[in-house]
Amino acid sequence: MNIGSKVRLLHGREEGIITKISGNYVEVDLGDGFGIPMLASEVVVVSPMEAQLVKTPVPQEVGKSPHRTFSKKGIYLVFVPINDREIVLHLVNLTDWKILFTLYGRADNQITGLASGMLESEKSQQITKLLWKDFEKWPVFDTHLLYYSETLSPEQPSLHYSLRCRPQSFHKRIQKAPLLEVKGHVYQIDLEESSAPAVSPAAIRESMLEVPVDVNVPLKQPQRIPSQIDLHADSLDEVKPGMSSDEILLVQLSVFKAYLEKAIAGGLENVTFIHGVGQGKLRQEIHRLLSKHPNVAYYKDAQKEKFGYGATIAHLQ
């Protein structure tokens, strides 16, 4: 196996050319001009005789085609380690949508373009290389997607997802990366997680075995923290008549900060901020503060069908 060898993925149908060899890893160009890092054990060299056989078309039964459900979910950001110094960020599309994407890196109030283009169904794109030693300085990765298909109209035509990698959660994400078929740190960016906490069978059993309390003694009910908050000015008691737009914005941000800290202290896994569209100032400030908060794993636009384009969901850690 050498640079320039034609290889086939051991667990897939794709073929490509080896462009780089680094220890136990090789980079394979699948025809899109980008080298995808893979374990050398995950590829096999295609012999000249096999290549000729592969070119022979397989006859198909006339009038029959396999029925397959349209795949709507399955877009991932995957960080694949190459060696002990470098790691590569990939965008993976396992859906049947064509994805028009743009990725930015945001750090120190500066935004840098990382990659953009069209990603076909069941394809991946190498975005950028990163260094392990700079982990604490990695930017916030802002991903903007537009969905397209010739056969189906998307319920959610676009998606915005922001990710700040945290040491305590990043290493819990390692698994076999979709499509790439190598170990990587995987984030599914089009997965809308439920805000309702799961109840385990053990917790139910424990509650059933609890010692009964005296029903005549009034119990103080803990105050339940809602999983979403409406920050529109007309929904806040703190906003008074005659306030200027700048004063209203300060009140909205103050309520936002207080609610976020309360949600973190209350152990919520995710919270939704309904900020509206407007001129975008409130949304921009909320995103800036979320990207810097140590207890925010990542955030993205909330469900369009429920909130339109005026809400952000933040996942806490």
Burial of 145 (0-12, 13-18, 19+ CB in 10 A): buried
- The reported pLDDT for the residue numbered 32 is 62
Other C-beta atoms within 10 Å of 166: how many?
17
Burial (CB count <10 Å: 0-12, 13-18, 19+), residue 240: exposed
Identity of the highest mean pLDDT range in 95-109, 204-218, 269-283: 95-109
Q: Does residue 144 register a pLDDT over 60?
A: yes
Q: In this structure, which amino acid lies at residue 246?
A: D
Q: Tell me the CA distances in angstroms from 286 to 42, 54, 256, 293, one per residue in order.
A: 43, 54, 8, 11
- Bridge partners of 140, per DSSP, are 106
Q: Is it the case that residue 70 has pLDDT exceeding 70?
A: yes
Q: What does the chain come to in residues?
A: 317
Q: If one looks up domain 75-188 in CATH, what number appears?
A: 2.60.40.1600
Q: Place 107 in a pLDDT band, splitting at 50, 70 and 90.
A: confident
CATH of range 224-316; options 3.30.1370.110, 3.90.600.10, 3.20.20.70, 3.90.480.20? 3.30.1370.110
pTM of the model: 0.51
Over residues 87-100, mean pLDDT: 95
Nearest of 33, 108, 96, 36 to residue 69 by alpha carbon = 96
Please report where in the chains the tokens 């990725």 appear, as a residue: 103
